[in-house]
Amino acid sequence: MTYFIPVNEPLLDGNEAKYLQQCIETGWISSEGPFVQQFEEKMAQYIGRKYGIAVANGTVALDLAIEALPLKEGDEVIIPTFTIISCAAPLVRRGIVPICVDCDPETFVMQAEGVKSAITENTRAIMPVHIYGLPVDMDPILKLAQQHDLFIIEDAAEAHGLTYKNQPCGSFGDLSIFSFYPNKHVTTGEGGMVLTDNKELAQRCRSLRNLCFNERQRFVHEELGFNYRMSNVQAALGCAQLERLDEFVSRKHSLGKNYTRLFKPFEEYLQLPRAQTPFAQNVYWVYPLVLKDTVPIDAHEFMQRLGTRGIGTRPFFYPMHRQPVFLKQGLFQEVSLPYAEHIAERGFYIPSGLALTAEQQERVANEISSVLSELGCTSRS
């Protein structure tokens, strides 16, 4: 019987069990435990930030970052259309208008040219999102923000260990966020973090994260906050994972290089991820493939065929400007962003987790080769 290869399997063979046992033995399992502060400090130090605020997941990290800034109803924030809905949802909930820009067809990230053309008198912030292992070209984005007095909310949810011009992603702009979902290079199961160098923003994030308790009289509230706290158990996992982040990035480089070798004979049919850009090395958070027009089916059907062969896959992000929930609200009417629309129909990613073996990669490549062969797409090697 063919066994299933999941799209992701985390690697938890370091100090995770040891630190979790400490939580159990000491009874510190809530957000009051010592691992939370340790994780915040170590993550901030790794990224080169002054302050870290650990939260329950990456989505609420974005929520918290947006809530902490002086944004009001009717303001505009420029976001990539090719991203997860977590980037747009907290804006829409507050009456802030997300303005979507298209992505680069090879790196899948927003480009400064698109951002520049989207700036209006109502623009208050830009949200660059690093996608699938490669970063946004930050220098021109930061320059635009400075010229127009705009906030930068940097979404580095997928960018653990990724650098831009040798500077860690997550170290740019007013606020940055990370996710620690199980498919990330550092996982806490669920979890996220807001990072900043601004003391006032950090204090505001900490207050909003913890129901805005009053320092003088705990249960008297002058503002409505949220319970977005991370538990000590989650943070214990994060501390163990962070100890090995450099090792994990090196492993991902090797996995990505091996996949590229395996798929090289099929470049007539598959767009492979770029190994590097002029300012970054790909950390292969996932290994994405885009079906070229020479393949007669779309990504959805290709993924279904791989599923019957025991290969896990995930579709690419569906563009924000085509999300039914936003169209129903009257957003993004008559907006066309062709690159994101194209790769959403033709793109998917394959098993890419840290626990993936070379033997599993061989099998993934063989099954993809088999599907291509069925479709009349044969290798020329």
**Per-residue DSSP letter, 101:** E
For the chain, the average pLDDT equals 97
DSSP class of 241: H
The Cα 193–Cα 59 span in angstroms is: 10
Identity of residue 319? P
Q: How confident is the model at residue 380 (pLDDT cuts 50, 70, 90)?
A: low
Q: Which CATH superfamily is domain 245-374 in?
A: Aspartate Aminotransferase, domain 1 (3.90.1150.10)
Contacts of 61 (CB under 8 A, 6+ apart): 55, 157, 177, 178, 179, 192, 193, 194
pLDDT in tens, 28-54: 999 999 999 999 999 999 999 999 999
- Residues 84 and 88: their CA atoms lie apart, in Å, by 8
What's residue 379's pLDDT? 74
Long-range pairs for 268-273: beta carbons < 8 A, 24 or more residues apart: 268/292, 268/294, 268/377, 268/380, 269/294, 269/295, 269/372, 269/377, 270/295, 270/368, 271/106, 273/132, 273/133, 273/134
Residue 312 has a pLDDT of 98
For domain 16-242, the CATH architecture is: 3-Layer(aba) Sandwich (3.40)
pTM value is 0.96
Q: What's the first-to-final CA gap in the chain, in angstroms?
A: 30
Domain boundaries, the chain: 16-242, 245-374
Q: pLDDT tens digits, residue range 169-219?
A: 999 989 999 999 999 999 999 999 999 999 999 999 999 999 999 888 889
Q: What b-and-e string marks burial along 144-153, b requiring 16 or more CB atoms within 10 Å of the CB?
A: bbeeeebbbb
DSSP assignment letter at 214: -
Inter-helix orientation angle 16-26/232-242, to 10°: 150
